[in-house]
Amino acid sequence: MMNGSIKVRYLLVAVLGLTLASCGTVYRTPEVVEGVAGGTNVRVMNLTAESVIQANRSAYAPRSLPDVFSRTAGSGSGLRGTGALPSPTLDVQTRPNALELRLPPPVDPGPYEIGIGDVVLLATPRAAGSVEQLSGLLAAQNSRQGYTVQDDGSINIPDVGRVRIAGLTIEDAEAALFQRLVENQIDPTFSLEISEFNSRRVSIGGAVSQPTVVPVTLTPLYLEEALAAAGGITVEDQDYASIRLYRDGTLYQIPLSQLYSRASLTKTRLLPGDAIFVDTEYELARAQEYFAQQITLVQARQAARASALQELQLEVSLRRDNLDEARDNYKARLDLGADDRDYVYLAGEVGTQSRFALPYERKASLADALYDAGGVASSTGDVSQVYVLRASSDPRELGAITAWHLDARNAANFALAPRFELRPDDIIFIAQQPVTKWSRAVSQILPQILSVGNAVSN
């Protein structure tokens, strides 16, 4: 059984708890109440995508930093010159006239024709039967080894003999092979493909990274692909470089400057036997001498201006010190509260109740201020009761306040916070959770209950 002191304590707890719940006079907690009360007219507006646009329409221009923060120490005076220097003894070489564009005529070479040196691959079904007599065909399929077209234009197939296919398209070559297999009473089920293209090529040289020979395959070969295969173009002066194309004894020319400005030129189709040479008509040796002379003149100017540079460096250093001093003075005035600054105030269940200074030269959002103060207090804050309290700027509406309400129980609504622009003197308020109110009320009265109980028991 409980002794008398314990009974007294429980009785006091019950009595004071009922008193707290009935009258609500022991603990008060702030909240946002819509309507007119105490001379204040509060209108609650739920935050939505549309209402955010409405709230952001209110006029506001962020404060600008003083001009001292935009000036640099190097602005103002320049270097003193050294007067006129003698003219160069070497005249600039006159460059050649603009290079002429001479394109090869458009041509369609037709389907690829098998040539000497190409490697063809014959593939036959794996099923057993009379086709197994073609041991060479099976070997070609299984080991991926084909038949090289010999100098006489034919390939030699075991048990079939030599079949001439040079100069034929793949379809014509398949027809010729089909006829020979039928003549030798062999199942003519097979497929033919070219595994190596060695008979038709285009050579590339000159001012390229890697001169090479590019094979012409079943698909068209264009100029851009050939240049890429050679590692790209390397010239000292692209304005006067050109691509020379030799075809059937005729020289064609594409200036490099036009190649880059006209994308269609890169699609120039190349034919077997074409020779590409990247060349330049402009001799750079004399230009290098001229540039060397100009460098000498520049060095003379630099030597004469060395003292002027030193004076300028001293002047810049003094200016920088003056700017730093002015900026430090302004920061000190801010720290001491001597200069006006726009603030937003955070109250209620935020991480830290404080004031948030609106930035210079840009606008801040609800998210900026809220999370600068630590966000919503996770243990006590009610995420469904986040408000931005904004007083009316119209003097005729003194006491009118709009409470922009963010209900963040749906976490997706937090996406509105970075879009909601703050204004000077806004108040961000987060209400308590219901259980937080009770917990704080109990924490206030519990020590008094215990002290009274101790007194009664004694």
d(CA 156, CA 149): 9
Q: Do 171 and 188 lie in a common domain? A: yes
Same domain, residue pair 348 and 433: yes
Domain boundary among 232, 262, 282: 282
In whole angstroms, what is the distance from residue 395 CA to residue 44 CA? 20
Does the residue 208 lie in any domain? yes
Within a domain: 390 = yes
pLDDT digits (tens, 9 = 90+) for 119-178: 999 887 654 444 444 554 444 444 445 889 988 888 988 878 889 999 999 999 999 988
371, 345: one domain: yes
Residue 348: left (phi > 0), alpha (psi -120 to 50), or beta?
left
**CB-hemisphere CA count at 13 Å for 340?**
6
* Residue after which a domain boundary falls, among 196, 225, 260: 196
Last residue of a domain, one of 264, 282, 300: 282
Q: Supply the CATH number for residue 431's domain.
A: 3.10.560.10
Backbone angles phi, psi at 36, to 5 degrees: -105, 125
CB 305 within 8 A of CB 79: yes
Q: Which residue has the tokens 């105030």?
A: 345
348 and 426 both lie in a single domain: yes
**Within-domain flag for 78:** no
pLDDT below 50 — which residues of the chain?
1-2, 22-25, 77, 89-94, 127-133, 136-144, 283-287
Q: Measured between alpha carbons, how far is residue 399 from residues 27, 342, 392, 404, 422 in Å?
A: 27, 20, 7, 16, 19
What CATH code is carried by the domain that includes residue 145? 3.30.1950
Q: What is the pLDDT of residue 113?
A: 93
pLDDT at 139: 47
Structure tokens at 112: 């690829």
Are 348 and 434 contained in the same domain? yes
Residues with Cβ within 8 Å of 303's Cβ and at least 6 positions away in sequence, in order, are: none
Sheet (strand 119-123) strand order: 147-148, 119-123, 191-196
Q: How many domains does the chain have?
A: 3
Give pLDDT, residue 164.
92
Determine the structural domain holding residue 409 and report its residue range: 30-61+341-441
Whether 361 is in a domain gets the answer yes
Own/partner long-range contacts of 261-264 (Cβ < 8 Å, ≥24 apart): none
Question: Over the chain, what is the mean pLDDT?
Answer: 78
Let me know the angle formed at the C-alpha of 56 by 54 and 57, rounded to the nearest 5 degrees: 70
Give 177's Cβ-side CA count (13 Å radius). Answer: 30
H or E segment to which residue 133 belongs: none
Res 22: pLDDT: 47
Are residues 54 and 123 both part of a single domain?
no
Tokens of 89: 């003894």
Q: 76 — phi, psi (to 5°)? A: 120, -120
Distance between CA 172 and CA 186 in Å, rounded? 19
Amino acid sitting at position 456: V
Residue 320 lies in a domain: no
Same-domain check for residues 158 and 222: no
**DSSP code per residue over 366-388:** HHHHHHHTTSB-TTTEEEEEEEE
Residue pointed to by tokens 């460096």: 313
Do 55 and 124 belong together in one domain? no
Q: What is the pLDDT of residue 242?
A: 84
192 and 205: one domain?
no
With the C-alpha atoms ordered 174, 175, 181, 182, is the resulting torsion angle positive or negative?
positive
pLDDT at residue 300, rounded to an integer: 75
What pLDDT is attached to residue 142? Answer: 45
Residue 111's contacts (CB-CB under 8 Å, 6 or more residues apart) are 169, 170, 171
Domain-embedded: residue 256:
yes
213 found inside a domain: yes
In the block, tokens 């003549």 appear at 183
User: Is the domain of 191 the same as that of 205?
Assistant: no
The reply to whether 290 falls in a domain is no
pLDDT for 273: 86
**pLDDT by residue (tens digit) across 15-57?**
555 555 544 445 566 778 888 766 788 899 999 999 999 999 9
Dihedral-angle region of residue 129 (phi above 0 means left; psi in -120 to 50 means alpha; beta otherwise): left
Query: b/e string for 401-415 if b means 16 or more Cβ within 10 A?
Result: bbbbbbebeeeebbe
pLDDT the model gives residue 19: 54
- Looking at the structure, tell me whether residues 185 and 215 fall in a common domain: no
Same domain assignment for residues 256 and 348: no
Residue 268's contacts (CB-CB under 8 Å, 6 or more residues apart) are: 103, 104, 222, 223, 245, 254
